[in-house]
């Protein structure tokens, strides 16, 4: 079982934060053993998560979406794709 699958089986959601650090939630489920697993497998977790990196997109009407980034796509590319798909006037800028 991969470290990401193990964390998911323990009820944790793991993501790469805005500063590039790994974040796991809910924090209440993080045991010392799971914290150690994250630290030991940080590179593996980042590699697995980087493929599926996503941004939260807020529409001007308040609707929130998750936009999954295609491999190699930059933040600017992602904003362009979302604007083309939903209409630039309907999309708040990515943060």
- In degrees and rounded to multiples of 5, residue 32 shows phi and psi of -55, -35
Max Cα distance, the chain (Å) = 47
Distance CA 9, CA 92 (A): 34
pLDDT digits (tens, 9 = 90+) for 42-60: 999 988 887 666 777 888 9
Query: Residue 94 above 70 pLDDT?
Result: no
Asked if residue 26 has a cis previous peptide bond (ω within 30° of 0), the answer is yes
Contacts of 44 (CB under 8 A, 6+ apart): 2, 3, 4
Task: Answer whether residue 73 shows pLDDT above 90.
Answer: no
**CA atoms of 15 and 48, how far apart (whole Å):** 10
The structure's pTM equals: 0.57
């Amino acid at each position: 079982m991969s470290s990401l699958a193990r964390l998911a089986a323990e009820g944790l959601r793991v993501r790469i934060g805005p500063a590039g650090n790994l974040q796991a939630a809910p924090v209440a489920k993080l045991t010392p053993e799971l914290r150690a697993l994250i630290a030991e497998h940080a590179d593996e977790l980042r590699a697995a998560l980087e493929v599926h990196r996503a941004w939260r997109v807020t529409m001007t009407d308040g609707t929130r979406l998750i936009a999954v980034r295609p491999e190699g796509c930059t933040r600017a590319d992602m904003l362009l794709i979302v604007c083309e798909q939903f209409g630039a006037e309907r999309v708040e800028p990515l943060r």
